Structure 1
Amino acid sequence: MDANQPVFSLRKISKHFPGVKALDNVKLDLYAGKVTALVGENGAGKSTLVKVMTGIYTPTQGQLYLDAEQITLSTPDDARKLGITAIHQETVLFDELSVAENIFVGHHLMHSSKRLNWREMERRSVEILQEIDAPLNPRAILKDLSIGQRHMVAIARALSFDARVVVLDEPTAALSHREIEDFYAIVERLKQKGCAILFISHKFDEIFRIADNYCVFRDGCYVGAGQISGTQESELVTMMVGRSIENAYPKVDNEIGDTVLSVSHYSHPTEFDDISFELHEGEILGFYGLVGAGRTELMQSLFGVSNLANGEVKLDKQRIKIKSPSDAIKAGIVYVPEERQAQGTVLEFPIFQNIGLPQLEKINPNGLLDEQREYALAETYANRLRVKAPNWYEKVENLSGGNQQKVVIGKWLATRPQVIILDEPTKGIDIGSKAAVHEFMSELTREGLAVIMVSSELPEVMGMADRIIVMREGLMVKEYARHEFCAESIVSAATGLTGVA
């Protein structure tokens, strides 16, 4: 086949929902042995396009082509039979099943006698896993594997369909640095096999590392496409958001006020030990560290998710004992979790019910739900955070990742806290939404709110924090004032490579 001829093409694709044009006359070309990065803000239409490509959605109009032949995808099975498959950030796998069972679930190999051919499935599993250099035992139970190994199983499952077109949708979000490097090697093998790859990521370093081409969507429309070589990050950002973002970290130098939160000799039997710090009014205190450093466990403990910790916690110089999240909320401490979908929202509920959820008793003092009061509260904070939705009755599951995050933040701001803990506040959201969250963080500190920000992105924590505390293996190993920020020193402290203590 001509290398200049796309393997898979979409032309004039539109997808309309009631009151929403998710896609409007877009196009896309994918080539054998090439990675095309699909770039766009949350809400640009990327997820809808993937669902059209994989047969989950039927387009309102437009055509799909495989090897220049027009095709129709009525179901996901239609796509799989043609070798079109997707690997999502959270691919559904089955913890209690073996590696081989997960790879072939839904399309088991059979004997002529209609019995399951376990020997052949295990043999093929080993073969596929070897293709991606993942030497896993096909009989290993999934729940016993690491996150990175599970990801390998998800990729092997996709390849078990003799994939020709592979969609990688935020595939590195839950992977460690080492696992990401392994993933890059797998992408190279897929390219060598001749797979046409669509790569969706908000991380520009990944896009420029592995992509050959790019295609940009904005607000459900096609903006442009081209080759990555010779393209600047700033060009893609401008195409994505329709404007240049000169300052992704709009840090405002506030006058830091009195101590709001004081934590002394705070320890957990297994997660962290001897943590002591102060947080001041109008301050953003950053916590940085590698995966497993204990940052999230510390923050969840301060919010009352775990009550096994010992030590002293003071709010406004008064000692407090937090045994549950409700205790924390009443005290004025709120927590925006890293896993917004699993822990931060009720996806099936509308926006207004999510925002009102932490204070149902206050909104409805007589025990009877007052939807008008709930809706009015949601309108205040959803408007303030510029949540994009047709109305506040829209279910949160229908929103983009960035807008879901805004709903979670709005929910907690509506309680009027003194301290807000933001755990990976921009994880999985696009650069435009990130800038909006960062701008809002600065606005909060101007109003006197005290902010703790946990982030694995060093530019973010250096860009936004007034101070940075570095954690490693459950311990505080270094604290930096803003004038002391140095990327090399912070990374050294987080990794322990130079013995910084």
Structure 2
Amino acid sequence: MNAALEMRGISKSFPGIRALADVDLVARAGEVHAIVGENGAGKSTLMKILAGVYQPDEGSISLNGERTRIAGPIDARKRGIGMVYQELNLVPDLTVAENIMLGSTPARLGFVRRRALTEAATSVLEAFDARIDPGAVLGSLTVSQQQIVEIAKAYAQRPSIIVLDEPTSSLSEHEAQALFHIVRRMRADGIAIIYISHRLREVLDLADQVTVLRDGRQIETRAAEGLTAGEMIRLMVGRDLTDIFPKREVPIGETVLEVDGLTRPGAFADVSLRVRAGEIVGLAGLVGAGRTEVARAVFGLDRAQSGEVRVDGAPVAARTPAQGVAAGIAYVPEDRKRDGIVPSASIKDNIALPVLGGLSTAGWISRGRERTMARTQVETLGVSPPVIERAVDTLSGGNQQKVVIAKWLAARPRVLILDEPTRGVDVGAKADIHEIIGELAAAGTAILLISSELPEVLAVSDRIYVLHEGRVSAELDRSEADEAAVMHAATGEAVRA
């Protein structure tokens, strides 16, 4: 088979991050080439280079044997590259036919040729054996039907290469089987298909070739035949833990946080977990597994439909963050710039936000108490520079994160939920933050830690709950947890076993 695509020696760096290093990818006509790897392995960066969103720092791209430069997304599309991202890129108020033919709508003298539009869309849907009304408004369809329309839109452009990024992440097993039929149909048509998925069983069912990425590097490319999910997991996670995440042994006390049967349809279902005083419990899972959604519901940012949350045995009706704070729960969000800080405000003002009531008398804030409290937190957490009047957006990422943590520590929570606490910070700041986490656990705080970095979860957690598609798929003690065991549960392999 001919190589529809050859990417050779692709490297890409961002400030402080080596995203890709000397990666090769060859996709052949009439073949499904799967790319697998942990979160942050470089899959998305590689595909954004193919789509023209990024330009590589080094390396070359050839299409059908001809070396080329992809100037941007429109250029990629003109060159026969179709992209189907995990997040649907459709217009809900338009019809199915209008969505499928977006960008290539048949027209004459500025007027849309409605009959030609419908016929063209119908032809694509029939090629997929998809029973979807081309005249239906897209927003009236199910998620699985919209996913098929998204792929049909890419297929309508007559591409030679189609990239499918987590196409089944929102689909049930039955719905996924309909999608697999479409993938096999496109392969039979001679299209080169690049398939990205965390669901290893479907990779083994569909793929002809598999490339494993880890930490921005190509670990191995081999035929899918004879490959097992266990082998893929070992290739994906083959890293050693480092001293960046030291584990501090502390006494474990009584249960502080209890979550029973927490459910929010479409996000997570029947989630139950326990966190004890002084215990660090990891919440692991792949992107889209529901980790952040569970944390937000426990804190009160989002409302669960059913289930119960208790702190120290007392039921918590956390329908707002204020109610969560009043119950003794604090939440450090994954996106600190959007949800964790007021960037233009001072360190002092940010730290004081959750405790303004305690700093006030008859509605007047005591500035002296506010400054004393802020200085104490800055000194305790080692915020640098320790200037409490300084705007937070002038600090480094690691020090901004320390301010977010300081803000909640001032509220003296019984439960601290940390969502990606070391994302986007340098190695030194990671070590500092984990030292702080260890000190908090030693002081008896119950800590729920969410991280996409498996070495982080494994190194500091006393126990780990693993989520797969919104449900708890495993509970692992520290003694039995390793990267392979977590990945088995995160990809659903443990559930099936």
TM-score, length basis structure 1: 0.66
Which residue, out of 13, 21, 25, partners 2:22?
A: 25
- Which of 361, 368, 386 is equivalent to 2:353? 361
Find out whether 1:123 has 2:143 as its counterpart. no
Identity %: 30
Partner of residue 213, structure 1: 209
Q: CA deviation at 1:152?
A: 0.9
Q: 2:226 aligns with which of 227, 230, 236?
A: 230
Residue 202 of structure 2 aligns to a residue whose secondary structure is helix
Deviation string 1:424-475 (CA, Å, 9 cap, x unpaired) is x67xx6xxx3464355442xx5xxxxx8875448784254699xxxxxxxxx
Count residues in correspondence: 420
Q: Do structure 1's residue 204 and structure 2's residue 200 form an aligned pair?
A: yes
Tell me which residue corresponds to 2:401: 378
2:82 to 80, 85, 91: 85
Judged with a 3 Å threshold, the aligned counterparts in structure 2 of structure 1 residues 223 and 421 are, in CA distance, closer, same or farther, namely closer
Tell me the residue number matched to 2:130: 134
Query: How far 1:154 sits from its partner (Å)?
Result: 0.8
Residue 461 in structure 1 maps to residue 455 in structure 2 = no
CA contact (8 A) 1:38 1:216 kept: yes
1:437 aligns to what? 457
Q: What is the aligned counterpart of 1:56 among 31, 53, 56?
A: 53
The one-letter code matched in structure 2 to 1:327 is Q
Deviations along 1:123-182, one digit per CA (max 9) or x if unpaired, are: 111211222232111222222111111111111111111021011112222222222222
Other structure's SS at 2:163 match: strand
Q: Residue 334 of structure 1 contacts residue 417 of structure 1 at CA under 8 Å; is this kept in 2? A: no
Give the aligned CA root-mean-square deviation in angstroms.
Answer: 5.2
Partner SS, residue 59 of structure 1: coil
**Structure 1 position 312, deviation (Å):** 8.2
Q: Aligned residue for 1:251? A: none
**Farther-moved stretch of structure 1 (234-243 vs 214-223):** 234-243
Q: Name whichever of 451-460 and 227-236 sits farther off.
A: 451-460
Structure 1 residues 68-467: aligned runs within 5 Å? 68-111=65-108, 113-243=109-239, 257-261=253-257, 281=277, 282=279, 302-305=298-301, 314-318=310-314, 320-333=316-329, 344-345=334-335, 361=353, 365=370, 370-371=391-392, 375-376=398-399, 378=401, 387=423, 389=425, 433-434=453-454, 436-442=456-462, 455-456=468-469, 460-463=473-476
Find the residue that maps to 1:9 and give its secondary structure.
Answer: strand
* Aligned 8 A contact 1:237 1:244 in 2: no
For 1:225, give the aligned amino acid: T
Provide the residue aligned with 1:7 in structure 2: 4
Counterpart amino acid of residue 401 in structure 2? A
Give the superposition deviation at 1:219: 2.9
1:269-295, Cα deviation, whole Å (9 max, x unpaired): xx9999999875559799xxxx9xx99
Within 1, Cα distance between the matches of 2:235 and 2:129? 37
- d(CA) in 1 for partners of 2:8, 2:270: 59
Q: Answer yes or no: is the 8 Å Cα contact 2:12–2:56 preserved in 1.
A: yes
What stretches of structure 1 of length at least 5 have no aligned partner?
A: 246-253, 337-342, 394-402, 446-450, 467-486, 492-501
Residue of structure 2 in register with 1:478 after alignment = none
Q: Is the 8 A contact 1:213 1:228 kept in 2?
A: yes
Change (3 A) 1:272 1:388: closer
Q: What's the offset of the Cα at 1:306?
A: 5.9
Tell whether the 8 Å contact from 2:397 to 2:424 is kept in structure 1 after alignment: no
Spell out, residue by residue over 1:337-390, the C-alpha distance to the aligned partner (whole angstroms, 9 max, x if none).
Answer: xxxxxx95367689996xx999562599469665369954625989x9664655
CA distance in 2, matches of 1:224, 1:267: 39
Contact 1:350 1:392 in 2 (8 A): no
Distance 1:351 1:109, change over 3 A: farther
Q: Displacement of 1:109 after TM fit?
A: 1.9
Partner Cα distance (2:251, 2:14) in 1 = 48
Distance 2:50 2:269 in 1: 49
**Post-superposition offset of 1:300:** 5.8
TM-score, with length taken from structure 2: 0.67
Q: Is the deviation greater in 319-328 or in 82-91?
A: 319-328
Deviation at 1:105, TM superposition (A): 2.2
Displacement of 1:14: 2.6
Q: Which SS does the other structure have where 2:112 is aligned?
A: coil
Distance 1:300 1:215, change over 3 A: closer
Relative to structure 1, is the Cα distance of residues 65 and 358 closer, same or farther in structure 2, using a 3 angstrom cutoff? Answer: same
Query: What is the deviation of 1:296?
Result: 10
Gaps of 5+ in 2: 242-249, 357-369, 372-387, 406-417, 480-491
